[in-house]
Chain A
Amino acid sequence: MKKFSVPVLLTIFAVGTVLAAHFELLDLYIQTVIMFIGVNIILSSSFNIINGYMGEFACGHAGFMAVGAYVTSVLNIMFFTNSKTFGDSILSPELALWFFPVTMLLGGIAAAITGLLVALPSFKTRDDYLAIITLAANFILVSMFINMDSVGGARGLMGMKQIIFSMEDVAFIPWMLIWTFVFTYATVFVIRRFVTSTYGKGIIAIHQDEIAAEIMSVNTNKMKLVAFMLSSGLAGIAGGLFAHILGYINPNSFNILKSTECLVMVYLGGMGSLSGSVIAAIIFTLLIEGLRFIIPAMDTLIHFVPLVPETFHLSQVLKWVIIPLILVILMQFRPEGIMGNRELSDFFPKLKKYYEFK
């Protein structure tokens, strides 16, 4: 029975959070933070497939997230809402609830196909050159959406809240929280299955010695294709969630800064460690949100003891000083990240008794 402890705890946590949100014990802000943690877990663990397990340096993850976000949003708006740009709903809005996972998956598939933009050049290029290609892919995708007036162009796309409302019309429960839990758990589950199988370990072999991998019958091109498509497909799913949590997307929220956030999370957690990615996503999101309160508190503090002129104030921009600084310190003192390439169960072997994921 022991081996079910971890899955049961995870389920209890998810159900508990949803119930607490339903009975208004959790305020909306905390709910949003939890959902963003979910999105960031998907982003960092899927990015880890490329940067950690396969050892390539990609830095355009947000581009694929944008594809997923736009495809899912446009499909949902087109089919289930009455909007000016896409006309009347094709299907009845109540069906949005049942088709939401389908449109999310379609967004993921679209993002996976866009992943070919990076996967195909990766056959011949690697390292810095591949990094530049991924960067370029990010720019191409973002400017594509900026110039597509049918989806709002640079003004962004709205109307996803309508979908949530029509889901809530069917049953008034916190749907986005549920979907975030479902997709986050599913992502971690899928990645875990992939990297623990002999098939998936092929990408780790590519990381450690590509020539040896090729000579020992690993089809390296196919493995790269699978890895890039899986990674960008999951990023697309993260994008779809992100769009529906916010209810509004803008091409510029998927620019290089967002990709950098993904990079920070992967390197913070440790390359090639799934539990590291999850932990890093949690820490990073809490840090970003925490600084929202810490910076004003610090501001009050330095004015309480009159150390600085009255007119000087610490602003939220300081966040983008503190987080990179943490990264600098991390790279200096623990370049392998929090977990290195090990999993939580390698640090605490006793933990293995408490779960058994096949």
Chain B
Amino acid sequence: MSLLKIKGLTQQFGGLTAVSDFATEFQGNELMGLIGPNGAGKTTVFNIVSGFYKPTEGKILFAEKPIDGLKPHKVTAMGIARTFQNIRLWHDMSLLDNILISQHYNLGYNLFDLFVRNKRYVENEKRMRNIAMQLLEQLDLVQFMDEKPKNLPYGVQRKIEIARALSVKPSLLLLDEPAAGLNSSDVQELIKLIAWIHKEFKIAIWMIEHQMAVVMSLCSWIQVIDFGKTIAEGTPEQIQNNPAVIKAYLGDENI
């Protein structure tokens, strides 16, 4: 039984093949990396997995169930959460609300309960608030509870976005360039945070990242794609010495 199994994934936009014949597999709670030059199709893979695109071809099985073609909110409810390259928080509401709204997959009450405000409504609101508070405490974000994300530093916003993704209790977390736009000390903290999340929550993490320091120190298995095709995969050491990867990133030796 594998957590996520992707086979023969192909995505075409008109004449352009963004991803071709991509395959990967998560056995349990690994931490895997997906790297490649700009425009290689990394984010497209994430967009397909999280439900924004319906793949032209291929199968995606999550916990043995097919998820290709499902709506994003359904995919999230099944246990795949993601973050975005450019932070997409709800900037004009409090941090607590940001986490609370992410509980929409498991509200536990309907419109009628809402208008009547019966016991079911009150209990479920309380339950969701407890989940949110517990998560904020775990991630040491309680002091920002009532702040709006737009007033917080960029590094904290990153952390909030990861916290929000964790609030749906995912079994697979997709991180799309978590280190983008962070300074070097923030990056060190991010590495620690991701390692800690991986250990503490025991979830699989799949990340796209350009900063090699992050990928090499965290991931146990790395896939490299270029122009939509997988050109290499292996452990960080294998990838660092792979001639095909060096060629994709730096060009040919003989010019």
Q: Which B residues are within 8 Å of any A CB, using their own CB? A: 50, 52, 71-73, 76-77, 81-82, 84, 88-93, 97, 100-105, 107, 109, 111, 114-115, 117, 121, 125, 128, 164-165, 168
Contacts and interface: CB of A to CB of B under 8 A. Distances in A.
A198 B94 CA distance: 13
A31 interface: no
Interface residues of A, number: 26
Q: Is the interface of B mostly helix, strand, loop or mixed?
A: helix
A97 interface: no
B253 to A, nearest CB: 42
A193 interface: yes
Contacts of B107: 198-199
A215 B100 contact: no
Contacts of A193: 114-115, 117
Interface of A: 190, 193-194, 197-202, 204-205, 208-209, 211-220, 226, 341, 358
A40 B99 CA distance: 35
B50 A213 contact: no
Given A198-B107, A204-B93, A216 B101 contact: yes
Given A205-B93, A212-B89, A212-B90, 7 more contacts: A193-B115, A194-B114, A208-B92, A215-B88, A216-B81, A216-B104, A217-B103
Contact of B73 (A204, A208, A219, A358): A219
Contact of B90 (A197, A200, A209, A219): A209
Contacts of A341: 92
A296 B33 CA distance: 76
A193 B103 CA distance: 18
B73 A218 contact: yes
Contacts of A198: 100-101, 103-104, 107, 125, 128
Q: 4 tightest CB-CB pairs across the interface, nearest first?
A: A217-B105, A212-B88, A208-B90, A216-B102
Nearest to B150: A208
Contacts of B76: 215-217
A218 B107 CA distance: 10
A190 B72 contact: no
Contacts of A190: 115
Given A193-B117, A358-B117, A199 B111 contact: yes
A218 B101 contact: yes
A212 B84 contact: yes
17 contacts: A194-B115, A197-B114, A197-B121, A198-B104, A199-B104, A199-B114, A201-B101, A205-B101, A208-B92, A211-B52, A211-B88, A212-B89, A214-B73, A216-B76, A216-B165, A217-B73, A219-B71
Nearest to B72: A214
Contacts of B73: 214-220
Given A212-B84, A220-B73, A205 B90 contact: yes
Contacts of B92: 208, 341
Contacts of B102: 216-217
Given A197-B125, A212-B84, A226 B104 contact: no
A53 B92 CA distance: 12
A205 B77 CA distance: 17
Contacts of A214: 71-73
Contacts of B103: 198, 217
